[in-house]
Amino acid sequence: MLHTMRELTDQAELRGDCERCFGLCCVALPFARSADFAIDKDAGKPCPNLRGDHRCGIHAGLRRHGFTGCTVYDCFGAGQKVSQVTFGGQDWRTGPPERTRLVFDVFPVVRQLHELLWYLTEALTLPAARPVHADLRRALTDTERLTDGAPEELAALDVAAHRQRVNVLLLRTSELVRAGTRGRKKNRRNADLMGARLRGADLSGADLRGAYLIAADLTGADLRGADLIGADLRDADLTDADLTGAFFLTQPQLTAARGGAGTRLPDSVTRPVHWTARP
């Protein structure tokens, strides 16, 4: 059954709910030993920390055990959608191998579609994007319809092509929203700003789509009204930065960054617990 527009607007079904998921992100996805993960794991292989009840055995101490990457991941609700809707609540551990493989093939596809739903839903809340609201609603409906497809249809879906079609609308949304910011808008799309010293920088209304801001110093920076879709904020310092009105910022991006009580955030995200937690 399709979600109503009201349900999508509050984004309730676009947030991961581990209680309704069969631990898909802990099995379907690969990761490599790095600063984010303590071990190597192939796609389709259960993480050794995954318990029989589909819960993480070290959830309370993921960062301490070297699994920071797990703490910043969000499936945008794809886990519970695939577990409870696409496969009707059937545990991947109980079916034949071919069905299990299909579950793992479908999950990343639905995750991408749900991420698009997140952006489209947010775009429809932006008054400046009103000229394209009708097109955004159609794209949202089409994307939601795709998520309700049969497992075989989802596995065969050309999700990259669909993302490209939606991205045209998201780009237009960005242009309309940022046009309302005073002054010269900086274009930093896909820019390599790794470790950049941007303390106190005026990046209001900036296009930071896909920018590499890993470990960048954004202390006190003005990011009001900036487009942050796809920006890599891992270990970026957002202490006292102002992100009021910044859009297309997701919770995983923010959780991967550093910040504090003085960081001003848009309403679409919440302040990460580890920002204020004691060591």
List, for residues 18-27, the tens digit of each pLDDT value.
999 999 999 9
Q: Would you state the pLDDT for residue 11?
A: 72
- Where residue 113 falls among pLDDT bands split at 50, 70, 90? very high
Burial class of residue 81, CB neighbours in 10 A (0-12, 13-18, 19+): buried
**pLDDT at residue 258 tops 60:** yes
Cβ pair 145, 29 in contact under 8 A = no
Q: What is the pLDDT of residue 28?
A: 94
Whole-angstrom distance, CA of residue 65 vs CA of residue 3: 38
pLDDT in the model for residue 212: 98
CA-based radius of gyration for the chain: 19
Q: How many helices (H) and strands (E) does the chain have?
A: 9, 0
Residue type, 177: V
Which of 123-127, 180-184, 208-212, 224-228 has the lowest average pLDDT?
A: 180-184
Residue 135's pLDDT is: 98
Mean pLDDT of 55-64: 91
Among the ranges given (8-12, 150-154, 249-253), the one the predictor scored with the smallest mean pLDDT: 8-12
In angstroms, the Cα distances linking 215 to 18, 33, 71, 232 are 30, 19, 18, 9
Rounded Cα–Cα distance for residues 216 and 201 (Å): 11
- Run of H or E residues at 276: helix 273-276
The two tokens of residue 232 are 């890599």
**Does the structure show a pLDDT above 70 at 279?**
no
Predicted confidence at residue 1, as pLDDT, reads 33
pLDDT computed for residue 179 by the predictor: 93
Side-chain half-sphere exposure of 87, counting CA atoms within 13 A: 27
Residues 6+ apart with CB under 8 A from 31: 37, 39, 40, 41, 69
Task: Give the pLDDT score at 3.
Answer: 41
Give the H/E segment covering residue 160.
Answer: helix 159-178
- Predicted confidence (pLDDT) at residue 249 exceeds the cutoff of 80: yes
Give the model's pLDDT for residue 95.
85
pLDDT of 191 over the 60 cut: yes
Assign a CATH topology to domain 184-279.
Pectate Lyase C-like (2.160.20)
Average pLDDT in the chain? 92
Tell me the pLDDT band of 7, cut-offs 50, 70 and 90: very low
Burial of 155 (C-beta count, 10 Å sphere; 0-12/13-18/19+): middle
* Inter-residue contact 136 to 33 (CB < 8 Å): no
DSSP annotation of 84 reads I
Local structure of residue 19 (DSSP, 8 states): G
CA atoms of 197 and 186, how far apart (whole Å):
16
Judge contact between 235 and 258, C-beta under 8 A: yes
- Crossing angle (nearest 10°) for helices 133-147 and 97-123: 170
pLDDT score, position 195:
97
Which pLDDT does position 4 carry in this prediction?
41
pLDDT of residue 277: 59
Q: What is the pLDDT of residue 172?
A: 98
Instruction: Compute the distance between CA of residue 195 and CA of residue 172 in angstroms, rounded to an integer.
Output: 30
